[in-house]
Amino acid sequence: MSGRALITGITGQDGSYLAELLLEEGWSVFGLVRGPGLGCAAHLAGRIEVLEGDLRSAPTLRAAVERARPDHVYNLAAQTCVRTSFRDPVGTAEVTGAGAIRLIEAVRELAPRARLYQASSSEMFGSTPGPQNSGSPFAPRSPYGAAKLQAHWHVTTCRECYGMWAVSGIQFNHESPRRSEAFVSRKVTRAAARIQLGLQAQLELGDLGARRDWSHAQDAVRAMRLMMAQEEPRDLVVGSGETHSVEELVASAFGALDLDWRRHVVQDPALLRPVEPVHLVADPSEAGDRLGFSPRYSFQDLVEEMVAADLAREASLQDAPAAVAGA
Ligand code: NAP
């Protein structure tokens, strides 16, 4: 199936991969963009239609829905950083929670037959012991998780009260070379590359023991597409089903470059989260059984791809091709 798809958050990691996937499938892709650039989707300029808009502004969202006349809407835009959400809970609620509701309401009124995907998050489970599935209780431990839950419940409300075709994909952490440097995975792979190139000596990290269920963002967007192709709208969790600690991430990233991470990594208590989720790990069986979904990338594949991309990027920035060749 192909048609017209509206993606919010197209300048971000997932939005840009999703746009690529939809274009490959023959969709007309409309991307909501709030700033001057296309970010991670810059290479798609000319192949997507850019619609100016902001989740904080209902009129811009209504105009975008009217222009796109979408068959599918993917709401991937959000204030996505958990640490930022502790510093700015109001701004996070405004964008990640209320912003999603604004968009959903615009779709409900102006494109009532469209299918809608909401990017929900494993952070909504917070203190619920893992493994989590779509029936696990929600107990967020961050303003980000709480804001995501508000949006999530609105999707449920619209589905159950108004019969809207709307699903929430409760995704666990997913990364890629397009991940922002605000996130630990990219911070680690970039630092490993810079240390290898002699551009940096040290990497400061918070809790090395924190564990996450990490997947590749390209697997995550594949799961989004499969969820939108379900016969009936059903929320599902999507994740790898295994966790790795930040220390394992560091060891893999530095190991890929034959670096001894213990010589470079220092712990900085200022980088600790005020409170960690208890143990977030997906029960992958639901998405496996219902969608036939299984990840294509392993944790090691993911880390190696990110390190290689950062090494190439940092080397090209420094005009140091010799360092890449020697890696
Ligand atoms: P990301 O790279 O941080 O991208 C966030 C996107 O949201 C960017 O395009 C950003 O635009 C846009 N945005 C932020 N504020 C906005 C506003 N007020 N109005 C319109 N757009 C706004 O995030 P991601 O990793 O691709 O994640 C995609 C979605 O999945 C997010 O909703 C995230 O919360 C959710 N999620 C992600 C993960 C994960 O591990 N990646 C896990 C679970 C759920 P600018 O470029 O203008 O900043």
pTM: 0.95
Per the domain annotation, does 180 fall within a domain? no
Per the domain annotation, does 64 fall within a domain? yes
Q: What is the pLDDT of residues 157-201, one digit of tens each?
A: 999 999 999 999 999 999 999 999 999 999 999 999 999 999 999
HSE, CB side, 13 Å, CA atoms: give it for residue 144.
22
* DSSP-derived 3-state class of residue 83: helix
- Residue 9 sits in a domain whose CATH number is 3.40.50.720
Pocket test for ligand 1, best of 48, 80, 85, 103 (most atoms within 8 A of CB): 80
Cβ-Cβ contacts under 8 Å for 300 (sequence gap 6 or more): 252
pLDDT attached to residue 3: 97
How many whole angstroms separate alpha carbon 224 and alpha carbon 112?
Answer: 20
Instruction: Quote the percentage of the chain above a pLDDT of 90.
Output: 92
Torsion of CA 21, 44, 180, 188, to 10 degrees: 80
Q: What is the pLDDT of residues 209-260, one digit of tens each?
A: 999 999 999 999 999 999 999 999 999 999 999 999 999 999 999 999 999 9
pLDDT score of 273 more than 90: no
HSE, CB side, 13 Å, CA atoms: give it for residue 64.
32
| Residue 123 near ligand 1, beta carbon < 6 Å | no
| Residue 173 near ligand 1, beta carbon < 6 Å | yes
| Residue 39 near ligand 1, beta carbon < 6 Å | yes
Q: What is the pLDDT of residues 122-147, one digit of tens each?
A: 999 999 999 999 999 999 999 999 99
Q: How many domains does the chain have?
A: 1
Whether the link from the prior residue into 140 is cis, omega within 30° of 0, is no
Per the domain annotation, does 59 fall within a domain? yes
Per the domain annotation, does 302 fall within a domain? no
Structural domain span for residue 52: 4-175+216-238
pLDDT score of 318 more than 90: no
Residue nearest to atom 28 of ligand 1 (CA): 76
Q: What is the CA radius of gyration of the chain?
A: 20
Q: Which residues are catalytic?
A: 121, 123, 144
Q: How far out from the chain centre does Cα 38 lie?
A: 17
Q: What is the pLDDT of residues 9-51, one digit of tens each?
A: 999 999 999 999 999 999 999 999 999 999 999 999 999 999 9
Residue type, 251: A
Per the domain annotation, does 274 fall within a domain? no
Per the domain annotation, does 290 fall within a domain? no
pLDDT class of 319 with cuts at 50, 70, 90: confident
Pocket test for ligand 1, best of 10, 14, 187 (most atoms within 8 A of CB): 14
